[in-house]
Amino acid sequence: MKAMLALEDGKTFECRSFTGPCDTGGEVVFNTGMAGYQEILTDPSYTGQMVTMTYPLIGNYGINPDDVESDGICVSAFIMREYQEFPSNFRSTQSLGAYLKSAGVPGIDELDTRALTRHIRKAGAMRGIISTKDLDPGSLSVRAREIPAMTGRDLVSSVTSDFPYFWKNNVRMPVYSETSPLDSTIWRERGEKLSVVALDFGIKYNILRCLEAAGCEVLVVPARTSPETIKNLKPNGIFLSNGPGDPAPVTYAVETIRKLLGHAPMFGICLGIQLVGLALGAKTYKLKFGHHGVNQPVRNLSTRRVEITSQNHGFAVDMETLNQNDIEITHINLNDNTLEGFCHKKLPLFAVQYHPEACPGPHDARYLFDEFVGLMQDS
């Protein structure tokens, strides 16, 4: 079905919808991964965004029920150069097109993704709209400019869990009941495993798998859980998850983190580092086109080694605003010299901008989960 993508600056791209009629908008970004499209689709950090894959052929290994990173598809639309309708993989249970269609998410192909990527790299990530109903470039561009901007929006509230739950053996396990008190009696494996409270700002399942594999009993709690409740749980550690959008309007999480500083060892990734940065008095800003891919080079300043990392974020912490009397910068992005990690010199706290669980992506940074465990044991 003939379709058109129009960006807010008036640039348009003819394309095709292989999932039927559509009329949807969002911020247009690109991802440089050659594989892992199912994990990308289900990553809550992509909420409100239309994702363009720079690798040309997508869909060739289909979809399976094991590689999801959340309960459902999170992107607003999925854009590619060529869609492979007939997958070939022993794990595949359905095609990409059928998967997108079942969720009501547009699948778009026959679009010049190289031209779109080059345009975004030059002009920056911007709002866009894809439609099979309205093919007028002028009308679509006007509508694209009416879409709410990513800056200033709290998207965490739309993706966080409604109730706390345990993560065990790759399954969400409900707390005894929704009315059970959240205090230190709730832990089921206290003494056998380290107790970790994970604040859910849009957490990926593979993060929970990695924490469990590292020997932790993980309790996931909603983003608006009060600091008093978390203190009453008496955890061995606190984890701050990834999530979508601008960290600045997520003021309730920033205030919670500020009140929890020093209470227990803390580890944050992606949105987590931005929120803890704000809690420490730093500022954040929007990147030109973000970091979305599985091949981002990061230098570990303590080991001098280069780690190839998986990343997905459009905002970053301004390292110039960090109080470096208390904060030590530990990781730097080698593409643009932006901040990728820091630790606190006095408190048991560290955070990174990239995804050490790397699903999809390389495992260079998986050691950070062991460092978190070591920090909890030392404390």
Residues annotated as catalytic are: 270, 355, 357
Short-list 195, 188, 198, CA closest to 220: 198
Helix, strand or coil for residue 135?
A: coil
Residue 88 and residue 61 in contact, taking contact as beta carbons nearer than 8 Å: yes
Distance CA 172, CA 218 (A): 10
Contacts of 323 (CB under 8 A, 6+ apart): 280, 281, 282
Backbone angles phi, psi at 101, to 5 degrees: -65, -35
Q: Which residue type sits at 89?
A: N
Residue 48 and residue 159 in contact, taking contact as beta carbons nearer than 8 Å: no
The CB density around residue 166, as the number of other CB atoms within 10 Å, is 20
Short-list 122, 98, 140, 101, CA closest to 12: 140
- Supply the DSSP symbol for 149: P
Residue 277 and residue 315 in contact, taking contact as beta carbons nearer than 8 Å: no
Distance CA 107, CA 97 (A): 7
Rg (CA), the chain: 21
